Chains A and B, each alone.
Chain A
């Protein structure tokens, strides 16, 4: 690789720090940048949020100082609130199960980071995501592929990033395993080498989504818990407390477990039933975008559809998009398909596109 100025987006975690170390080792002129996404005064962030809070900014700064490259902080708290937090609350209020990390990648992160890169004279932006970008021919857009380490693969979170933006992005960890990354971090004596992976949503560090949604005015209406036949089996204190597939807080049926099948935010009804009833073969996916950069020409599209982070992708037929999105027919039924989550279409390791699971 020829030495060039390259901007590394640093969350403060071990992955992006190691990505920066690798690029610097390769001789690049590395410039670190951290997006400040949550407010220092917000209680959530100060309670030790694992991503993009004040402590993570400090970890990123310390890493950059140790490795000896400049590091800057861009304040995107206002944009993050609008694009991600408000959406998270609104989705919960509407009885859906949002995925804020996908939203953040789609709407927020890459635009400002690439603008920053270009403003400081860097052609490319690197992040610590586990995913790969491959360019088959210089004139076409890059392909977004799953990471080599399927256990850490984050391509699911990246499907919404506009394809032209990916052109100038590099994922230095795409070919690495997490163990290798930790070993590299220790080798470089990075301050966050043994920092735990983030498990929670960065702005809800205690994991209590219910309380967060309530505190931000997104509480759903209380109402009846009903079975599939429409008979009331109990009451609940707000639809935002449920997600499809959830068992907690659902009354038993004669000692047998029941699960949330549907959430009807408008009426306040939560429909429950046996585990078998969670199985779904057909679903609608709205707001579909094509990460590949072009709409497929042959319909229905044969691909594999991933319905959750870390879930296996199921072979499926996807029907041609109309005004409301695409239909998905899974070869074999899937459990706990939650409206609001992302459905990502893969051809082997390649991300073709995706959208949002419709109610």
Chain B
């Protein structure tokens, strides 16, 4: 099995799996309990919190554990708006982009539809390479802007955004700013304090941790209201008994990611170069996203279009040859529609359905790229041929049927 879909999820690192197994047995207590077992579990959670904070460039008390990226985006965006509705008075305006993960788009929809008439939403325009311009954000901001939410790095095309500059603009207008850093964490250096955002979301399973754990960074002093009621955990911001073993594993994953960041980055850069060279040998292949400069993109993410070949069929063809890639955000029904992110880049629905996302991870080797290169050109050619010839066959059949004998 060759796994090149690390933006969907990446395998748990062995050190993490071991830590989770150990923690499951060693910390049977409830971290809220006052007795010895409780104190030990609490200590484990707090150690993990420090490890997560270190990766983020944050203080431990600024880290709120969640169940992952989707909950994190919801808690941050909706929790800030609930807080803002008290603190920010009449502010009623939200700013986002069409490139955001469905968790962000969904959280915003929940707010605007949950309080009809209370909120207005501005969606920033997108450049053809997926760029978001500072000037567009500046003109979108109003005195009433409560919250800006823009991803640090895009999950499909890998573009990295100048969120520090976005944050300066937002804060200058008194607005809060949240960033979805799920895809950026562990791949590029993070310093959320320096970045100047008020909240950020990360997820454990994208960096070698377990599924079902994540965290929201909330800048000290920023009011974040909980979305569920019934407990005091996580400083009243996320009630519910902590997933102790998962959190311990998350902490170890953050620690490893932090320590190996430089190596990881070089590893990805080298493999990505190999990948782009290989893709160049597939006729017509077109790699999407901003320029080739390192600062502007995640080193592990490549979305490529094969004109005339629906991406879903290319991905399935690769799967049948034991290679896992994706056509964009994974979907629970197993079916895929043209990617909204690719549509936002100005691609028409046909082009947007021709994207294939190849995302590298800590297990990826040069041999994986070679193996992909071995089969990809043939699969793309086969899909292209099937897509054109079947259409022709059907058309021929229809016309012949109505005509004389043949």
- Closest-CB distance, A281 to chain B (whole angstroms): 27
User: Is residue A36 contacting chain B, with contact meaning CB distance below 8 A?
Assistant: yes
The answer to whether A70 and B319 touch across the interface, beta carbons within 8 angstroms, is yes
- Closest-CB distance, A117 to chain B (whole angstroms): 8
Task: Give B398's nearest chain A residue, CB to CB.
Answer: A162
User: Is residue B89 contacting chain A, with contact meaning CB distance below 8 A?
Assistant: no
Task: Give B321's nearest chain A residue, CB to CB.
Answer: A121
One of A5, A75, A164 near B397 (C-beta < 8 A): A164
The answer to whether A289 and B333 touch across the interface, beta carbons within 8 angstroms, is no
> Contacts A165-B393, A165-B394 hold; do A75 and B316 have CB atoms under 8 A apart?
no
The answer to whether B396 and A164 touch across the interface, beta carbons within 8 angstroms, is yes
In the assembled complex, the Cα of A120 lies from the Cα of B312 at a distance in Å of 11
> Contacts A162-B397, A294-B406, A297-B405 hold; do A116 and B313 have CB atoms under 8 A apart?
yes
The interface bits of chain A over 210-250 (1 if a CB of B lies within 8 angstroms of the residue's CB, else 0) are 00000000000000000000000000000000000000000
The answer to whether A75 and B337 touch across the interface, beta carbons within 8 angstroms, is yes
In the assembled complex, the Cα of A115 lies from the Cα of B382 at a distance in Å of 10
Measured between beta carbons, the chain B residues less than 8 angstroms from A111 are 390-391, 394
User: Is residue A61 contacting chain B, with contact meaning CB distance below 8 A?
Assistant: yes
In the assembled complex, the Cα of A165 lies from the Cα of B397 at a distance in Å of 8
Measured between beta carbons, the chain A residues less than 8 angstroms from B390 are 111, 114-115, 118
User: Is residue B404 contacting chain A, with contact meaning CB distance below 8 A?
Assistant: yes
Measured between beta carbons, the chain A residues less than 8 angstroms from B334 are 57, 61, 72-73
- Closest-CB distance, A72 to chain B (whole angstroms): 6
The interface bits of chain A over 71-83 (1 if a CB of B lies within 8 angstroms of the residue's CB, else 0) are 0111100000000
One of A75, A120, A162, A164 near B320 (C-beta < 8 A): A120
Measured between beta carbons, the chain B residues less than 8 angstroms from A164 are 393, 396-397
Which of B320, B391, B404 has the most CB atoms of chain A within a 10 A radius of its CB? B320
User: Is residue B387 contacting chain A, with contact meaning CB distance below 8 A?
Assistant: yes
Which of B337, B397, B401 has the most CB atoms of chain A within a 10 A radius of its CB? B401
The answer to whether A72 and B404 touch across the interface, beta carbons within 8 angstroms, is no
> Contacts A36-B335, A294-B406 hold; do A70 and B320 have CB atoms under 8 A apart?
yes
The answer to whether A295 and B405 touch across the interface, beta carbons within 8 angstroms, is yes
In the assembled complex, the Cα of A116 lies from the Cα of B316 at a distance in Å of 10
- Closest-CB distance, A29 to chain B (whole angstroms): 9
> Contacts A111-B390, A294-B405 hold; do A119 and B316 have CB atoms under 8 A apart?
yes
What size tier do the contact residues of chain B reach? 20 to 34
The answer to whether B401 and A290 touch across the interface, beta carbons within 8 angstroms, is yes
Measured between beta carbons, the chain B residues less than 8 angstroms from A118 are 382, 385-386, 389-390
In the assembled complex, the Cα of A35 lies from the Cα of B387 at a distance in Å of 17
User: Is residue A47 contacting chain B, with contact meaning CB distance below 8 A?
Assistant: no
Total contacting residues, chain A, CB less than 8 A: 31
In the assembled complex, the Cα of A70 lies from the Cα of B396 at a distance in Å of 32
Instruction: Work out how many contacts link A and B, with CB atoms closer than 8 A.
Output: 76
User: Is residue A31 contacting chain B, with contact meaning CB distance below 8 A?
Assistant: yes
- Closest-CB distance, B27 to chain A (whole angstroms): 35
Measured between beta carbons, the chain B residues less than 8 angstroms from A295 are 404-405
Task: Give B349's nearest chain A residue, CB to CB.
Answer: A78
User: Is residue B290 contacting chain A, with contact meaning CB distance below 8 A?
Assistant: no
Which of B337, B383, B385 has the most CB atoms of chain A within a 10 A radius of its CB? B383
User: Is residue B317 contacting chain A, with contact meaning CB distance below 8 A?
Assistant: yes
In the assembled complex, the Cα of A120 lies from the Cα of B385 at a distance in Å of 11
User: Is residue B263 contacting chain A, with contact meaning CB distance below 8 A?
Assistant: no
In the assembled complex, the Cα of A117 lies from the Cα of B387 at a distance in Å of 10
Measured between beta carbons, the chain A residues less than 8 angstroms from B367 are none
> Contacts A111-B390, A119-B313, A165-B397 hold; do A75 and B382 have CB atoms under 8 A apart?
no
User: Is residue A252 contacting chain B, with contact meaning CB distance below 8 A?
Assistant: no
- Closest-CB distance, B313 to chain A (whole angstroms): 4
The answer to whether A75 and B335 touch across the interface, beta carbons within 8 angstroms, is yes
Measured between beta carbons, the chain A residues less than 8 angstroms from B394 are 111, 162, 165
The answer to whether B335 and A74 touch across the interface, beta carbons within 8 angstroms, is yes
Task: Give B387's nearest chain A residue, CB to CB.
Answer: A115
CB under 8 Å from chain A, chain B span 328-376? 333-337
User: Is residue B402 contacting chain A, with contact meaning CB distance below 8 A?
Assistant: yes
Measured between beta carbons, the chain A residues less than 8 angstroms from B404 are 295
Measured between beta carbons, the chain A residues less than 8 angstroms from B391 are 111, 115
In the assembled complex, the Cα of A114 lies from the Cα of B392 at a distance in Å of 12
Measured between beta carbons, the chain B residues less than 8 angstroms from A57 are 333-334
Measured between beta carbons, the chain B residues less than 8 angstroms from A289 are 401-402
Measured between beta carbons, the chain A residues less than 8 angstroms from B336 are 75
CB under 8 Å from chain B, chain A span 145-167? 162-165
Measured between beta carbons, the chain A residues less than 8 angstroms from B402 are 289
> Contacts A119-B386, A297-B405 hold; do A54 and B393 have CB atoms under 8 A apart?
no
Residues of A within 8 A of B (CB): 5, 31, 36, 40, 54, 57, 61, 70, 72-75, 111, 114-121, 162-165, 289-290, 293-295, 297
Sorted nearest first, the 8 A-B pairs with minimum C-beta distance are A162-B397, A118-B386, A75-B335, A119-B386, A115-B390, A119-B313, A289-B401, A73-B335
A sample of 5 cross-chain residue pairs with beta-carbon separation below 8 angstroms, ordered by A number, consists of A115-B387, A118-B390, A165-B397, A289-B402, A297-B405
